[in-house]
Structure 1
Amino acid sequence: MSLESHLAAFDPVTDPDQAERYLTDWPRDAHGRARAILRPRNVEEVAAIVRLCAAEGIPVVPQGGHTGLVEGAVPSGEGREVIVSLERLNRIRDVDAINFSMTVEAGCILANLHAVAAGHDRLFPLSLGAQGSCQIGGNIATNAGGINVLRYGMTRNLVLGVEVVLPDGRIWNGLRKLHKNNTGYDLKQLFIGSEGTLGIVTAVSLRLFPKPTQVETAFLAVESPAAAVELYGLARRDLSDLLSAFEIIPRFGLELAQEATPDLRDPLTTSASHYVLMEASASGLVDLATLMQLFLEGAMEAGHVLDGTIAANTAQARLLWRFREDLVEGQAKRGRHLRTDVSVPISSIADFLARTDAALAAAEPNAIPVAYGHVGDGNIHYNVLPPPDMAEADKPAFLKRCEKAIYACLAEFGGSISAEHGIGRAKLSSYLKGLSPVEKALTEGVKRQFDPEGIMSPGRLFEA
């Protein structure tokens, strides 16, 4: 019996129109071909698929919600890879409110997990722009970040245990719910951020937190990135470490958001080069509203803030967050552009932006930069739009030159080319160039130990 005959038991996608969304990434910049697109229903079926592929040396690529930005889950153009979609592994296996944990399958959509946690008066704090469609398995595979990293940490800080199908088809049940476990190597951490190269995460035990009963959201005008960074340090101190988000947005970012959503109106009468969108949250007896008010009054009196507003209710807060979220859509409406996901020490953000702005202007005077991101963890999305009149055929090379200029500046600050999006295939060359010989040997050794035949997500993190 052929491999295809065996794989037919796992609900393959055969309709070309239906298959298209599995073959294209979210920005629609990359498109591939697959030998098969399978949709298993449980961990046993995932294991059976992997065993079949391992026996034949067929490469396997796990796939989640199709929201990645680095071509990690998009098949190559060769048509050899089998896509294993985890969308049907979407059960909530357990919620333990007393233990502040829940165990869920990899195909669960992130926004649904927020709702489940809230239903038990708990918070799962991972928050991303794509949370309405991204899946927790993909979040685990890329070690996703988002807006709440400064308070709750990256995805790896939110994971208590994992269930994984290994490259030979064995199932490792590491779904422990212990908040403290100091017995030997922490194997789960190897799979978090591994981008499917060491195995397929099929379920995860997650850490929950108290559900905030108070949230204060402020939108502030500042004179520069340096002022934003200084304000961040004051906020961490004066808000009793209740700060949960601190975003920097350039004026051009607001304009892009308004292009995407024309009914958005400037929240402030003062126009500034940069804005800060910050949020603090608390539960219990803390008077958060007064704390935020006093902090902002002091910041304005000291000249750290030019103008600002505090959301009066949840609806107003949601409207303020639209500027941060919709600027992404505004960039997409401009067509093909460069998305970077870099990080530097928080203290270097202002200098990095100034240095990179100057370097980019010198290298590509027609480039249109838009740099925004998470001040609290040093993660800046330094993106570049091509000039409006540039021919489509010229954009890839132009954007590659812009990326080279940005990465050269990043190296001066000891930064990272990927703060939260991962490496995938899109950043593989830059990633490998940045590895020291020792790092390269160690990572290759881990890969060989888990996947000696190289069938798991080839061409991601490692050369195929």
Structure 2
Amino acid sequence: MLTQTLDPAILDRFTSIVGEKYALRAEDDVAPYVTERRGLFVGRSPLVLRPGSVDEVSAILRLATEAGTPIVPQGGNTGLVGGQMPDESAREIVLSLSRLNRIREVDVASNTITAEAGVVLQALHDAADEVGKLFPLSLASQGSAQIGGNLSSNAGGTGVLAYGNARDLCLGVEVVLPTGEVLDDLRKLKKDNTGYDLKNLFVGAEGTLGVVTAAVMKLFPKPKGREVAWIGVESPAAALKLFGLASDRAGASLTGFELMIDRALDFVVRHIDGSVAPLASAYPWYVLMEISSGRSADDARGLIEEILGEGLELGMVSDATIAANLSQAGAFWRLRESMSDSQKPEGASIKHDVSVPVASIPDFIPAAWAAVTTLEPQARLVCFGHMGDGNLHYNISQPVGGEPDAFLARYRAVNDAVHTVVRSFHGSISAEHGIGRMKRDELIATAPPVAIDLMRRVKRAFDPAGIMNPNKVI
């Protein structure tokens, strides 16, 4: 039974585990940990704990189970569905993993890196780069997102097409259970059939089963050649044909294939300083394509030129430009990565992180738009995403001159309309952001009852006291 209020004596006991310096109680100190960056979720907490060791995490969870105190694990606070946020009751303690920030080992021969949960994603990229390797998980928030949060939400990003999501990149984990027990499963094995794959119960569980404190992640050889092209196309159907051609010609060398509506680029050019449209003319849709070669720069260049040349001949490509250098390639990617932020100056937006079978994307986009416009005829579609793996950020910006509050009041209705279409295409309402608080009720209402029952059984088995990130996911 969870406590209804937090006894000051219990708060003192938690504080004694990490020390006064790392137990935050002042309102101004706590504020950054209880406010989601878009302001959609604002919680309250009497205490933020910042442990510096696995032993401290263990002691915290052991006490939490004993006292029935809810714990909300938090990484870089970059989540988009409220999974890292405490509720408004002021009885949930935030457990920040930011001090667990050591890279414990880089094993070049095994192509692995062992990192603690609080290591920032960019630091993993830098550590891999220092030894001539690639860590491919790439997100717009990688300067602040932490690997523990990435694993807990099974983050995706732009590299999923070639390398997979966070789950695919993880070989082993260290997890502290609600009882305080530590599961040390930091193995580097690519093959291991010894019973249930326990690590994958925690990857994607959003901190509801335990706290990931460290992980073994895969590294890859750095490409010897990398080419990036910005491509104008007439429609998602043309983009799909181009994707088929690129997949056939490049195979595993196709490391990026992003689809974007023209309005998404227009917003970036309008609102993000230094942004320039890559093509002289505007097109209804754009593709950002990346080819990486393990052989040579010439091989990558030859592949992308072959694909674009054939795409032009077959009418899939209307126009294209290949980045002249690494700096311009980075600028092309920044255009894509800035599309979420560039919506803010345009007013309120209703966002969807969905996936459908890749072949269904050209039919899904207009079908979902027809559902939206029955509710909001003057809304603006800002659709972009990872076409190569079927994940679209199907975002809707408010009408020009509209009232943000009035538009956001339709959030649930618009979500329901889009997600109904997603399910009709046998897709997912959460492709890479997770469930958190935002989608919990919808998941419970729409997932197969047997699946929900199984998830609840798993939750009860791991967390019988119900202290771990309550009221998230299920």
For residues 129-140 of structure 1, what are the structure 2 equivalents within 5 Å? Answer: 129-140=140-151
Q: CA offset at residue 280 of structure 1?
A: 1.2
Written as runs of structure 1 = structure 2, the 5 A alignment for 1:150-161 is 150-161=161-172
Length, aligned pairs only? 462
TM-score (norm 1): 0.97
2: CA distance between counterparts of 1:344 and 1:278?
Answer: 20
Between the aligned residues of both structures, percent identity stands at 45
1:459 aligns with 2:466: no
Q: For residues 65-464 of structure 1, what are the structure 2 equivalents within 5 Å?
A: 65-285=76-296, 287-462=299-474
- TM superposition shift of 1:392: 4.1
Structure 1 residue identity aligned to 2:170: V
Name the aligned partner's letter for residue 259 of structure 1.
R
Conserved? CA contact 1:260–1:327, under 8 Å: no
Report the 3-state secondary structure (helix = DSSP H, G, I; strand = E; otherwise coil) of the residue aligned with 1:241: helix
Change (3 A) 1:165 1:8: same
Q: Please give the alpha-carbon distance, in whole angstroms, between the structure 1 residues aligned to 2:65 and 2:159.
A: 39
Quickly say closer, same or farther: Cα 1:392–1:362, change in 2 above 3 A: closer
Q: Does 1:2 align with 2:9?
A: yes
Deviates more, 1:395-404 or 1:336-345: 395-404
| Per-residue deviation, 1:240 | 3.5
Structure 1 runs (4+) deviating above 4 angstroms are none
Whole-angstrom distance in 1 between the partners of 2:291 and 2:27: 47
CA–CA distance in structure 2, aligned partners of residues 104 and 48 of structure 1: 21
Does structure 1 residue 37 correspond to structure 2 residue 44? no
Question: CA-atom RMSD, angstroms?
Answer: 1.3
Maintained 8 Å contact 1:147/1:374: yes
Structure 1 counterpart SS, 2:468: coil
TM-score, normalised on structure 2?
0.95
- What one-letter code is carried by the residue in structure 2 that aligns with 1:424? G
Q: Partner of 1:280: helix, strand, or coil?
A: strand
Question: Where do 5+ consecutive residues of structure 1 fail to align?
Answer: none
Displacement after TM superposition at 1:273 (Å): 0.4
- Superposition deviation, residue 390 in structure 1: 3.3
- d(CA) in 2 for partners of 1:442, 1:290: 50
Is contact 1:270–1:306 with CA below 8 Å preserved after alignment? no
Q: Which runs of 5 or more residues in structure 2 are unaligned?
A: 1-7
* Deviation readout 1:231-252 (Å, 9 max, x if unpaired): 1011011113300110001110
Aligned residue runs from structure 1 range 13-52, under 5 A: 13-52=24-63
Most deviating of 62-71 and 11-20: 11-20
State the 1:259 CA deviation. 2.4
Once residues 394 and 408 of structure 1 are traced to their aligned partners in structure 2, the CA distance between those partners, rounded to angstroms, is 22
Separation in 2, partners of 1:158, 1:26: 27
Q: 8 Å contact 1:384–1:399 — kept in the other structure?
A: no
**Are residues 334 and 18 of structure 1, via their aligned partners in 2, closer, same or farther at CA, if it must alter by over 3 Å?**
farther
